[in-house]
Structure 1
Amino acid sequence: MTKVKTGLSKKLLTRVLSVYFILTLIVTFGQILTEYLNAKNHIESELQTLKNTFSTSLTRAIWELNTPQAKSIAEGLMELPIVEGVQIRDENGVYIADIGRTTSLPDTRVTSGIMRDHPGGTFGYSFPLIFEFSGRTSNVGDVTLYSSVSIIFSRIEVGIFFLIGNAIIKTAFLVFLFLNAFRHMLTEPLAEFTQQISEFNVDHPEASKLHVQIDDDNELKLLQHSYNKLIDDLIEYKDRLRLTQEQLKEANSKLDEQNISLEQEVAKKTASLSKIMLDLEQQKDELILKQRELKQENENRQYIEDELRKRNKELADSMETLKIAKDQLVESERMASLGGLVAGIAHDVNTPLGVGVTAASFLQERIKYLEEEYDKKTLSSKSMSAFITEAQQTATLLLSNLNRASELVSSFKQVAVDQTSEAERDVDLNQYIREVVQSLAPTLKKANHTVNIACPEELVIRCAPGAIAQIFTNMIMNSIIHGFENKENGTIDINIEQHDNEIFIEYKDNGKGLSEEALNRHFDAFFTTKRGRGGSGLGTHIMYNLVTQTLGGQIEAFSKRGEGLKYTIQFPQ
């Protein structure tokens, strides 16, 4: 019996599952597209809402030509998760701030809020800055806030995975259900029909009847009943034929003998041919089975490759997110250092200011007393002399304390401005380092630590002074927090030399030093010996990047347990 190339059940199952797969793909894609559009509309609404939050302060900053404040507001906006770029222009179209992922804007002035899509998967919301003064309005510039498709996908990522997972689970369950149903209700009964029909024996038709277990009254059971009825008819016909042959046997015995011989020969040939056909059928079934196994293996391999691609993409997205988080942590560490500096300076400035206020109050009381005596005509030369003496002492005290506060504020102002700016300028290294140490004086005085500086006079270098301030601040604070832990009267020696347009800095403290393992990981990001006690592990990593990248130099650390820590820094003048 000839084997069919594609079974009826397989064709039916393929068509049903194909239609279901197509519908599932269409519905899933539509749901993902809807999630994407909803998330994008929500982010666009948030960008428009930001206009009401900062437009007033930014408009006033541009109106007052306060560019640093405008840039500070732009940097603050960059901290928002939905903002990937900020552009601020004045009324002449000149860029005041251009931060993050941005693109070139038309030179035309923005008169109303407008949402635009930009190349590279970004989109932005532009709106004008209107300043009202004495009942009149003036357009002082415009702002463009940028977001991107990556932020949209980060919001709907869980939803997309849920939709895809839901579709996969439903599809897998439906495939399993259909395969099981088709196998029990159609494939297995048809296979048994085919097998039993292929074993049909002409000599024993009674044994060739179909015996297939079918629970339902369906077309297959009707087919079995009809086939068995056909076998019964064949048996009855054969019995009648045998009776007729016996009646004619006497008249045609020789012919009967020849017919019997011929029938036997045909039966043998038929049996031999049936065996050969069965062997061929078995070989063909084995070949089909191997082809199916090979196809299943190829499908499994393709599925694994698709999963690997998906995991690689997820890993790349995770690495990008980790890089952004690391940059944010580095910036937070820099601002935390500046915050600590502010707290120390504020405390130290408060003392001379308090003395100045007290002296001014005392002087005011003495003047009032002198005025009363003058009005009463009781002012004597002795009272006047005492007043002059007290006034001179009070003025001297007031002047010295105000000068002290002025020096602290001046040092802090220069260091703080430099730490928040990356602009290059000429710097007197000796004077500037002393200003940095002066800004750290409140912290140093708490434990009576000493900083000795040896640097040539009028040694001028050109660089971003914020990098110098950050490097020395990190080294000194690292010595105070880690090296001088549980130690009073620590000593820090800073020796600076110049050779052939190269600056050589040797920094050394007499702290407790580092172990060999800690020294090997000293400049690694997030490595700290105070994990869980306020240490972030970014101070030395930031210092290493500032020396090697910003200054284009080299830095090395040397230390042993109990022998302090030493840094050697070299960079071009």
Structure 2
Amino acid sequence: MMRRAERSAPGQTLSSVSHSLSRRLLRSTLVLALGLGLLISVLLVVQDYRQVAAQPDRDMQALAGLTLEPASAIVFALDSKLAEELLKGSLKQPAIQFSRISLNRGERFAERQRDLQSGALRPLSDSLFGRTREYRWPLYAEQLAEREELGELLFVVDTFHYGKVFLERALLTLLGTLFYALLLSLTLLWVFSVQVSRPLFSVIGSIAQVDMDCPEQARLHEPQGHADSEIGLLVRLTNQHLQAIALTLEQLRAAESSLKQYSDALESKVAERTLALSQSVEQLQQAQSQLIESEKLAALGGLVAGVAHEVNTPLGIAVTATSVLSETLDSLRQQFTAQTLTSQQFSDLLAQASDSTQMLVNNLQRAARLVRDFKQTAVDQVSEARSQFQVEQVLRALIASLHPETRKVPVEPLLECPSGLQMNSLPGVLTQVLANLILNSVRHAFADQAAPLIEIRLQEQGEHVLLDYRDNGCGVPESLRERIFEPFFTTKRGSGGSGLGLNIVYNLVTRKLGGKLEFSSQPGQGVHFRLSLPRELPAFGA
């Protein structure tokens, strides 16, 4: 009864979460966004404050440049009417509260003024910029032979005109920061809820509903879209444990029936793997024949023996594991028939059979993977069909198929490619280009290099893909750099070099792929090939 009570309350399990990850993320994001936003806002406000504080000086200096000369002429002519008109015009500048022209004797000649502006922000503006500012300039008589001071021009600026604009901008900046922080937090909360919280609650609900009395029928539901995420991995591992429990219970309840089913399934599995391996070897031999017939892909012919040797190792282990497994099953049958089989012997034989089966499966999978990678590379290079393909997937399959050659150095090419990079081009031609570059480095570059290195980097640049290939080999002397793309030019003719590898690379890049190829090298510093390829193959390259 207690177990049923615990299983009947999955809702309580979900509602009992007192420290939700979503709420934690919301609080952390909100605090971080607010702090960062306020810091940026303060910096912007401080910068704006400095500019606004200096703006009256600039405005008055510009106004003085316009009014000093006419004001001097008016004072020299003692024309008070024109002086009044001049000061009246100066009040068109909204920041000026008072203007006056006085004579040299201190006598007021003309003046204009208006009331100070008012507003709710006035006290704060006065504390930041002061209430008013005075600007004085002497007036000189330029008409006389000797420069003589005639009087003084005075402007009094009401700083609230500038302070009000500054404070309104500062308020908008702070409000925008708060709105941005809130919007960012809500967006992240929604994303986190959709991507993490809901799938986790789904998994927790599935776990809470598992009937421990019948675990062999319990399986957790994998949330949609999380097959390759940590949540999907958690579900698969849990299901694997539930499957293991189910198998154990089934074996204990019916040992004889389980043994027979296990033996039949194992024999069928071995037969299927053996058939798949035989078919893979036949396909490999067919790929070998096709590669030998093509001169431009002659470099792949030497790889077949290496791949066959790579396949032979796991195949030999699989044969050994099959022999051990057969002996174990024979022993188990004999003891069972003679009714001398004990629980310990059954457990030991079952463990031995399980280990042999795992070894057999692992090595057959390894052999199949080697054959699959090499087959994919061979098919790609033979075919010149245009298609949409994942660049990283194609190039990694190529590098895996070249392992029999690269391990002779030994060197492991390093590939850096943006995840999800796609091209609509000729994957076979691209793999042939890269294979020729790698084989060229393997056969010519590393004779005197203790730590060989090959680096392949790809990046997107608009509508093109840049492929950067480097090695740290012996490099190419300056006298030979202009000839490396010539047909039949090689420095290893006595060692089997045909001189066509880099010529084929150049022709494939420029003609088939519609791209550009640049080469540079220094003796002792390796080679550097830079390829610029269109992501969408033009019509002429199809």
Q: TM-score, normalised by structure 2?
A: 0.44
Q: Which has the higher contact order (CA 8 A, sep 6+)?
A: 2
Question: Structure 1 length normalisation: TM-score?
Answer: 0.42
